[in-house]
Chain A
């Protein structure tokens, strides 16, 4: 049994773009950054209560790779799901791997301490 759920080919995700995948019934946003990394987090934007994060603009704030919610522009750290504009807001993240050009999503990560 290989690791995680295969959801798409890497080349289906634009560099600095995102797609949404259905993983165990949940909408997961998967992003690809300019440096070649791939990140996954819940697609649900808790600030606007809408499932939209994959449609946000991807960029950097300092050294932090982030996505800006397309609704009201709150920034979320792609690595941790932490909202950079509101310390109390955090989006669940998922383990993600790319093998043989296929993107695979694992389970939700445990809350880091």
Chain B
């Protein structure tokens, strides 16, 4: 698509929901058509606000969603510390606080909410704070250095988080709640009382049914006056009396708002203007705002879906909550207050242990409708999905909430459609599928409450598959590919016989033999058809060509970087004509010649090699191509010579045998015409050098490559690729592409960065030396085969009739070229055909 046809999408707000929106937009391909501009008013990029209280322990970096400060996708521009001052739906522009005006095709409001500060006298005195951002926490921390008592106005979920923060800072802490109990939205009176007892045991003072009349003090806070006449002295007051949607931008622009605040949106999260959308806490789908992160995430997905033309809609959210407050489990889910007609309550209460559990069940006792858990929420992972899925309760439902040992509920099989992670809407079936495929889901990555349940489901799956953790290659080797690689290196083996005798059983198979062939090829870099290696090779490597469905082969000469002279093009055409081969341009910028009979291969290679071609290793688990655009040599947008680099890289890594095929790409600018980010390693030019992306895959599980290092000079770039590839070749599993390999490493991409960029293992020079050896000892396999009569002798149709073509291979013609005819069974030649005697 031409650059000027790209559209612009502006996201106002870079909180958790704005960030999720960008993630989803990138993952689902919205950035293929839209450039994203994300404007956040906080000085830092999106961070985990749900875990805000842990800021004092772990610091801001640990909470950040984007430790590098930017998105990998170059089509996302992130502007922080900048407010959206307003927008105009007529001209479709937004005005930023710096004065910049940005035109948009679509605008997504993700401005979140702000703490509500009740307008009581004294609310703006020094020492009054709110609790929403990292900056708020920093200010509270600074003030706490000279304070001894703190009071939190509001005993809801956030208020208790704030109280916890004050207690952590060493302050004597009061919680002042207007309602008759703590966490009035989530728990009932008995649950609230249990929670209050826990909190008071920790040394905090809880005031319930206590309205604050005024904040006392002249300039600085000195305390609170409550309506019943009580006084609470305090140096710090934190307001946590609820939140209000940040909807003023929408109001100023003339969009419809909900009665109780929030930008009114429909089920697609579209506002009253068709090009403006609202998600998260600023939005009010159907007039109601949602102050939790999970519904906001769901709204973000819905808008991405809508912009892609999908059918997604937001029709309400699971408001279930589970959290640990000051070490106390609290959970609330479904119809926690038994509002359903005829609903029954089952209660377990242990005042001594401080545990309160309530189940709300349907009138017939068969369905779980909701519940409250305080002090022990371990059953939450089982119970909440039971509500969502409607699974029938067991005969003795009280077993579900009795103390562990009498039935913790772990044995209750969840149905496949049960939503295990409500933050990311991941079902049990999706977790099982991911476990089976070796991929991942987002389950447990937001609030973490379902982590244990998710782990259990995965473990159960593997147990059900009968594999605990069996990493044996096959029945002949109880070793992983990596272990085998090391064994071969340490002992210096060169023959399969020695390896299987010393470390295996039997005589090998189609799994272990090609693995050992690949390992020997990597370590020895000899000819893959030399000695006893030949019988280890899969048929493609054994014949240095790709077998096709009728037993013929395709021939693919190297066309490094996709660059080819007219003279060479003509030779390819002549060869195809002469041998009557079907020709096709491949996705890797080369030309495939198909339909060659095995005995024709040497003659075809002869013609190609004489014209200056060499093997393209299309048949090998090895480097395939380094795709490139024309780069700065021709392109008016290019900033570096991408073709030249691609050719250099393809020549450097050609022939490197690896656990799976390796594809690469080099793009001359951020427009990325070479699709480098879909490759195992991809290089994208910048004004200052090259960005190196790794572990992208196309195929059945497409994965975008991720940035490993940026703005590299040529020498450093090549050093990093050397290390990356050798690290992969040495440690990946059989047939494991780079993307799943990186995911399988403990630490993932960060681990790769440690090894490749930081050289944390001190392996760098060893990996580079191994690659240097590969480069120095490279030779063309086709030419070496042509030069060796013994290897050539195998390229015959019949050992006793080398001049008779296999009658099983026949062709038809379609669109002017040959194609395989379907076989209807083995074809026999008449017995009159002369058959040669053995020589």
Residues of A within 8 A of B (CB): 5-9, 12, 14-17, 19-27, 30, 33-34, 42-44, 48-52, 55-62, 65-66, 68, 70-71, 73, 75, 102-103
Tell me, yes or no, whether B823 is within 8 Å of chain A by CB.
yes
Bound state CA distance, A57 and B295, in angstroms?
Answer: 55
Q: Could you tell me which residues of chain B, from 778 to 819, have a CB within 8 Å of some CB in chain A?
A: 793, 797-801, 804, 806, 808-809
The interface residues of chain A lying within 8 Å CB-to-CB of B512 are 59
Beyond contacts A26-B828, A51-B808: 20 other A-B pairs, Cβ-Cβ < 8 A, are A21-B799, A22-B801, A30-B799, A34-B507, A44-B808, A49-B824, A49-B825, A51-B806, A51-B827, A55-B539, A59-B510, A59-B513, A60-B506, A60-B507, A62-B475, A62-B506, A68-B510, A71-B551, A75-B509, A75-B510
Tell me, yes or no, whether B822 is within 8 Å of chain A by CB.
yes
A78 to chain B, nearest CB (A): 11
Residues of B within 8 A of A (CB): 475-476, 506-510, 512-514, 532, 534-539, 542-543, 547, 549-551, 598, 793, 797-801, 804, 806, 808-809, 822-831, 833, 835, 837-839
Are A73 and B826 in contact, with the CB atoms below 8 A?
no
Are B547 and A52 in contact, with the CB atoms below 8 A?
yes
Bound state CA distance, A33 and B547, in angstroms?
Answer: 24
Are A55 and B542 in contact, with the CB atoms below 8 A?
yes
Assess A26 versus B826: contact at CB under 8 Å? Given A15-B532, A68-B509, A102-B838: yes
Bound state CA distance, A93 and B806, in angstroms?
Answer: 19
Assess A42 versus B826: contact at CB under 8 Å? Given A20-B798, A21-B800, A22-B801: yes
Bound state CA distance, A30 and B838, in angstroms?
Answer: 14
Question: Which residue from A27, A57, A75 sits with its C-beta under 8 Å from B808?
Answer: A27
Are A51 and B826 in contact, with the CB atoms below 8 A?
yes
Are A19 and B799 in contact, with the CB atoms below 8 A?
yes
A104 to chain B, nearest CB (A): 9
The interface residues of chain A lying within 8 Å CB-to-CB of B808 are 27, 44, 50-51
The interface residues of chain A lying within 8 Å CB-to-CB of B800 are 6-8, 21-22
Taking CB as reference atom, which chain B residue is nearest A58? Answer: B535
Are B506 and A59 in contact, with the CB atoms below 8 A?
yes
Taking CB as reference atom, which chain A residue is nearest B822? Answer: A49
The interface residues of chain A lying within 8 Å CB-to-CB of B822 are 49
A44 to chain B, nearest CB (A): 4
The 9 closest A-B pairs by CB, nearest first: A70-B539, A68-B510, A44-B826, A51-B808, A25-B829, A59-B509, A49-B823, A50-B551, A19-B799
Bound state CA distance, A100 and B513, in angstroms?
Answer: 31
Are A52 and B539 in contact, with the CB atoms below 8 A?
yes
Bound state CA distance, A7 and B621, in angstroms?
Answer: 34
6 A-B interface contacts by CB (under 8 A): A15-B535, A20-B798, A44-B826, A52-B539, A59-B510, A71-B547
Bound state CA distance, A5 and B799, in angstroms?
Answer: 13
Are A25 and B535 in contact, with the CB atoms below 8 A?
no
Assess A16 versus B549: contact at CB under 8 Å? Given A27-B808, A51-B806, A52-B539: no
B599 to chain A, nearest CB (A): 11
Taking CB as reference atom, which chain A residue is nearest B830? Answer: A25
The interface residues of chain A lying within 8 Å CB-to-CB of B598 are 55
Question: Which residue from A9, A17, A62 sits with its C-beta under 8 Å from B838?
Answer: A9
B821 to chain A, nearest CB (A): 11
Assess A25 versus B828: contact at CB under 8 Å? Given A8-B838, A61-B509: yes
